[in-house]
Amino acid sequence: MAVAQAQALVPDLHVMDADPDGEAQSLLELAKWAIRFSPVVALDPPDGLWIDIAGVEHLFGGEEALLKTLLGRLENNGIHARAAVADVPGAAWAVARYGKGGIVPPGRAVDAVSPLPVQALRLPPQTIGAMHRLGVERIGQLAAMPRAPMVRRFGREASLRLDQAFGHAAEPISPIIPEETTVATRIFAEPIARLEDLKLVVCQLSEEICRALAKRGEGVRRLDLVFRRVDERGAALRAGAAKATRDHKHLARLFDDRLETIDPGFGIEEVVLIASRTEPLDENQIAARGLDEAEEEADISRLVDRLTARVGVGQVYRLAPVETLVPERMAEKVPPLSPPARSAWPDGLPRPTRLLDPPEPIITTALLPDYPPAAFIWRRVRYKVNKADGPERITSEWWLGDQHRTIRDYYRLETDKGARFWVFRDAPLSEGGRWWLHGFFA
Amino acid sequence: MDARREVIESLRRQIERLHSGSRPRKALPFGVTPIDGHLPAKGLASGALHEVIESGPAAEFAGAATLFAAGILARLKGPVLWCLTRRDLFAPGLMQVGLHPNRVIYAETGRDGDVLPLIEEGLHEKGLGAVVGEVTKLGLTASRRLQLAAEASGVTALVIRRWWTVAQKDLTHAPTAALTRWRITPAVSDDLPAQGLGRGRWQVELMRCRGAEPCSWIVEACDAQGRLALPSNLAHRSHPAQVRGSAGG
C-alpha cells in the first residue's frame, strides 16, 4: 500500500520510516530483560521472543502467575504483548499470535492449534495463498489431508511446520548468550589454609580470568575474591584497577598483602575470583625502546592500583585546581589518573605550604588600627613580628552572592626568628574584625 | 706472606665492588656551589633516602621543610608520590616553587605506620621521579628497607619528619639508614628598602651524611623553579664565614 493511499484512508496518519536495525536492537534489549524469567531466551524476529520456562515456572508461582507477571511488567513498560505457554515453541507461537494466548495444557497442543488459521504455521505467503486457493483455511484441515500429497503440493516446509506446531518434530531454539561475568573457581579436595597456597591459587585464578577476558577483548577494572571455608563461612576481598588491565601478575599482586587478613579457620575449600567489572581493552602495540624520541609518560596506573589496594579507594588522589579564591576550597581531590588539569592556581600570589584548617584565632597587637600586627599570641606563645607584607584582600566569588560573602585581609608576617606566618583579619577593624592564623610558609 | 697479602687485596676489591654497587649513580645538584661541593655525590644523590627535619617556631607544621622538599621535587622529572596522614598540605603553595599539581599523586592513610609501606611501594616503581613521605617514626630497619628499595629502583625518597609532641620530636634524633639528614630552620630575611617581605631565608643544616661532615649554610629559600641561592650579602664573603660550625646530632 502506498503512503498516499494509506493517508487517504486514515486522514491523520502518522508516517514513520521503518527502522529494522533499531527494532532488532530493541528486541535484543527486551530479550536481555526477559532473562530474569528464564536463562534460555531466544529471539524470534521481527516481533517475538521465546522463553523456555521448563523448570523455572515454580519460582514465579506456576505458569499462570508467570504469564501474569510477565505481561503485567511489559504492560507497565508500555509494551502490549500477547503470550502463550505450550509444550513446543511452534504451538506457543501459533496460540499467542492467532489464538487467545494463555496456557495450552500439556499434551493438548493438537487441540489448541487445530482450529487456528494456517497463517499460524509460520509459512511463506505463497504457500498460505496456495492453501487458501484449495480451501484449506484451518490447520486441522491441513492435518487431516493425507501427508504424501500434501508435501507434494505445499512443500516439505509445510509438513515440518505442522509437525512442529503439533509437537511431533523437535524445534531447537537458539538462546541469546547474555554477557556473563567472568568467573574462575577452584574447589579443593583437601581444604587449604597456608598463605603460600592461597597466593598460588590467586595467581592461577587471575591467570585463568585474564585468559578468558583476552578472548572477549576485555580488561579487568574490579576483581572480587571470595573464599568459602569448611565451616561454610565466607570471606571476600575486592581490588580495583585504575585502568583496564589483563596483566595477571599485577592483578594477583593486588591481593597479596591482604591475603594475610583472611582467616582460613579449619581450611578453605573453595576460592572464586570474579571479574565483577570489565571494560573493553584492545591489544596494544608496545613502542620499541629508543624509537620514540620523546620519552613516554611513565605509566603509573599499576602503582596507583597497588596503593589503592593498600589504603582504599579515594585515598589515592591528585589535587586539581578549583576556580575559587578562598584558600580552603582551592584544591579538590580527583582520581589519580584523570586527565591533567588545564587551569592552574594563579602564580605570583604568595601562598603557604601548610594550611591550618580551620584557622585558629590569634591575639594581636598593632601600632595603628589598620597596620599589620606587631606581635601576636598563638597557642599561648608570643611571636614578635619583624616584617609584614599585605594586605591581600580575598573575597568569596561574586556569583555566590552577598549572603555567604567573606572578606579577608591576608598578611604575611615574618617573626624575629625568621618564621613566616599567613594571618588574616575577617573584617575591617571598625567592624569588629578578628585575627586568625591560617598557614605557614616557613 | 704473599698469600696473605693476596687475600687481603682480593677482600679489598670485593669491598670496593660492594660499595660501588650501592653507591648512587646520579645526583641532583642544588646549584649552590658550597653545598654541592660539600656533598660526596656533588648534589642530592638520587636513588637514596633523604630525611628533612624542620626546626623553628612552627616546626610541627614543617612549612619550610615541605618547601625545601618541593623545591627538590620541582627540579626532578616525572610524577611524584606524596604519602601523608594529615590533610594540612596546601597544594597551591607547592606550585609556588614549580611543583605542578598534575605531577603529584597523593596517598593518604590514617596511621603513621601505614605511610612507610606506601613509600616502599612507590620506590619500587621506576617511572616515578621521587617519593615523599610524611612520617613521625622512622626506625633503623624501616629506613634501611626504604634505602635499599630506593637504591634498587633509582627513585629518590624524601622523608619529611613530622612531630606533634616532645616525645615524638625526640624520635627525630634517633639514627636512621638515610643517606642524608637535613634540618631546615627559618632565618631572618634581608630588610627591604621599603615595607614588605623579600625572599625567605633558611638555615640549611646537613646534620648527617654518609661520606661527609655535618655542615650548615644560610641560603635563600626556593624560587619559582625550586632553586636555592646564596644570599647576595653573603655570597662574596670568604668561605669560612658563611659555613658555620656543625649543629651536631
CB contact under 8 A, A412 and B70: no
pLDDT digits (tens, 9 = 90+) for B47-58: 999 999 999 888
* Domain boundaries, position A369: 354-440
Does residue A13 sit within a domain?
Answer: no
* A-to-B residue pairs, Cβ atoms closer than 8 angstroms: 181
Do residues A64 and A156 share a domain? yes
- Per the DSSP assignment, residues forming a β-bridge with A275 are A182, A223
Give which of B87, B197, B202, B223 to mutate to test A binding, by max A Cβ within 10 Å.
B197
**ipTM of the predicted assembly exceeds 0.90:** no
Are residues A35 and A106 both part of a single domain?
Answer: yes
Of B240, B184, B247, give the one whose Cα is nearest residue B213: B247
Is domain B22-242 annotated with CATH 3.40.50.300?
yes
Domain identity same for A128 and A224? no
How high is the pLDDT of residue B53?
94
The C-alpha atoms of residue B245 and residue B219 are separated, in whole angstroms, by 15
User: In this predicted model, what pLDDT tens digit does every residue of A66-115 receive, in sequence order?
Assistant: 889 889 999 998 888 889 998 888 889 999 988 888 888 888 888 888 89
* pLDDT value at residue B24: 47
The pLDDT assigned to A298 comes to 61
Chain length of chain B: 249
Per the prediction, chain A carries an average pLDDT of 85
Spell out the residues 6+ positions from residue B185 whose beta carbon is closer than 8 angstroms to its own. A418, B54, B55, B56, B64, B202, B203, B205
For B109, which of A303, A311, A354 is closest by C-beta distance?
A311
| Cα-based distances in Å from B90 to A201, B87, B160 | 44, 8, 15
Domain assignment present for residue A318? The answer is: no
Strands A268-280 and A182-192, sheet pairing: antiparallel
**pTM assigned to the model:** 0.69
Which residues, 6 or more positions from A61, have their beta carbon under 8 angstroms from its beta carbon? none
pLDDT at B23 over 80: no
> Does A129 share its domain with A238?
no
Task: Measure the N-to-C terminal CA separation of chain B; round to a whole number of Å.
Answer: 44
CB contact under 8 A, A417 and B186: yes
Q: pLDDT per residue over A4-35, tens digit each?
A: 888 888 888 888 888 889 888 888 888 888 88
Q: Which residues of chain A have pLDDT under 70?
A: 178-179, 284-298, 404, 442
pLDDT in tens, A324-357: 888 888 888 998 888 887 777 877 788 899 998 8
Chain A CB within 8 Å of residue B90 CB: yes
- Minimal-distance CA residue of chain A relative to B115: A311
Give contacts of B91 with chain A, Cβ < 8 Å: 319, 330-331, 345
Do A41 and A162 fall into the same domain?
Answer: yes
* Predicted pLDDT at B247: 42
Looking at the structure, do residues A253 and A149 belong to the same domain, yes or no? no
Task: Measure in Å the smallest separation between the Cα of B41 and chain A Cα atoms.
Answer: 26
Q: Please give the full DSSP string across B50-108, using - where no structure is assigned.
A: EEEEE-STTGGGTHHHHHHHHHHHHHS-S-EEEEES-S-B-HHHHHTTT--GGGEEEEE
Nearest CB to B88: which of A302, A307, A354? A354
The SS3 of residue A278 is: strand
Percent of chain B past pLDDT 70, that is, above it, reads: 89
- Among A141, A166, A191, give the residue marking a domain's end: A166
